[in-house]
Amino acid sequence: MFNCSDSMDFRQMAKFFKGLAGCGSWCCFDEFNRINVEVLSVIAQQLLTINGAKKQGVDMFHFEGSYMKINNNCNAYITMNPVSNGSRE
């Protein structure tokens, strides 16, 4: 479980994803909606790259400037929490 924040950037997430993809770990990214929209678009591409390599069944793939091994057991789960605007219904 990893709690996301608005201070996260795509480089930080790339390092996280490299670790997950290389060793086959799973991670749940909680409060994913707290990440800035500009960063989310890059993260989406990073996840697509990893998922594409998994679908192709390759042993090595190019990710964020590195040619690395992929463990197909890796996976990322995402949760989003509703944003409260202070109003009550």
Domain with 21 in it: what CATH number? 3.40.50.300
Our count of domains for the chain comes to 1
**62: Cβ–Cβ under 8 A, 6 or more apart, which residues?**
49
Q: Is residue 10 part of a domain?
A: yes
- Residue range of the domain that includes 15: 2-78
Q: Is residue 88 part of a domain?
A: no
Q: Is residue 89 part of a domain?
A: no
Q: Please write the tens of the pLDDT for every residue from 26-84.
A: 999 999 999 999 999 999 999 999 999 999 999 999 999 999 999 999 999 999 987 65
DSSP secondary structure letter of residue 59: S
Q: Is residue 27 part of a domain?
A: yes
Backbone φ, ψ for residue 35 (5° rounding): -75, 140
Backbone φ, ψ for residue 3 (5° rounding): -85, 120
State how far the Cα of 14 lies from the Cα of 80, in Å rounded to an integer. Answer: 20
Long-range contacts, stretch 66-70, CB < 8 angstroms, 24+ apart: 66/18, 68/18, 68/21, 68/22, 69/22, 70/21, 70/22
pLDDT at residue number 26: 96
Identify how many contiguous H helices and E strands the chain contains and give both numbers.
2, 5
